Structure 1
Amino acid sequence: MSDDKQQQSAPRRGKVLEALARAERKVFTRPAPKSAKTQVKFLLTRAKESTKALAERLGVSRRTVERYRAGTLATPQKRLQAALVEEAESEWKPQVRARAREQASTSSGMMVEVTAYFRFTCTGSSDDSRIRTITTPISPTYAKQILELQEAGATEEDLRPIVAEAITESYFTEWGTRAAGLRADFTHVSKIEFRF
């Protein structure tokens, strides 16, 4: 299979997964490698210099990995570029990432800012569904659930209900002090950001 066929379209993650990845990048003490050559070199160190293992991980040939390591290829196509960025960032600064995730899961929680269409389920609710921009804290309990699901490879569809529950708890029911039984779901997300 040629490299052109292997490097067609970049896989798209959902907005919640992308927002979690951006939040992790913000805690890095140094930025991850930017050029394809430095990304390949870094990933090869993590793969114990196995071009075969890295090629399988990226979905390209061993020769392609060798060319990027040598610098004879410099500008990857979109799919390979996305894979290099995702893989390099997933391996970059694991201890810094782990510390931020641990703190969010046990003590500080996270902040979420979301602009989306919110729909409500509750008996006697007078609040119509509409687009809202909400900034609210997420408790460590929900932060732990969200981060564990992300780590386990959850999809966007798996994460949205948990994020909606977390927003409902802190914003709409104010930690259980009002609007008992209210449930909020969100769709049509135009913007979402998390902060550790």
Structure 2
Amino acid sequence: NFFLCSGYSNIKKSSFLFNACIFTKSVCQRENFSITIHAGEAFGKESIWQAIQWCGAHRIGHGTRILDDITFDPKTGEIISMGDLAQYILDKRIPIEICLVSNLHTGAIKRLEDHPFGILYKNKFRVCLNTDNTLMSNTSMSNEFLTAIKYFNVNLDDLEKLTINAMKSAFIHHNERLKFIYDVIKPGYQKLREELTSLRN
């Protein structure tokens, strides 16, 4: 059984929504549900903390405002320092579901090249590409991959890593994740490499 909770608000303690989150977290933990929560898009990094600490999120949707907790070199993209939130997410390998096109449409970012995806991926955060929605943003996984290639110069090896990150973060059993990685993803990308090499020759 898997549980999906989606929200964008900065929740106040003692509010009805806060109590609902605490109750939902307890139910999900008792039933061994997995939880993903959309946070850090319309509201600041505090909403990401709330998603993790109050609601027990195992994955974070969007999470663009994590950049508020990171100081980085704008020329190299190297991280200079991180706050407690960013360090916690990095250390605990909490996946961030990156939604490039959707974040542009909702105004979470002003330009695609400003998206924190590049910095997070470069610095070993567990990020994966997602559509958020396909209808409203008129996008697809293929389009998200193409967008990442265009704006962040990712290559085929990067796309494979991002796909593996996604499967590592999937809400299925560990042995099933490993089987999919080694039986489907890795052979699939190897076949694609061979096809590209053949075309070049």
Q: Shared fold by TM > 0.5?
A: no
**TM-score, normalized by length of structure 2?**
0.26
Task: Please identify which structure carries the higher strand content.
Answer: 1
Q: Which structure would you say has the larger RCO, counting Cα contacts within 8 Å and 6 or more residues apart? A: 1
Which structure has the larger Rg over C-alpha atoms?
1
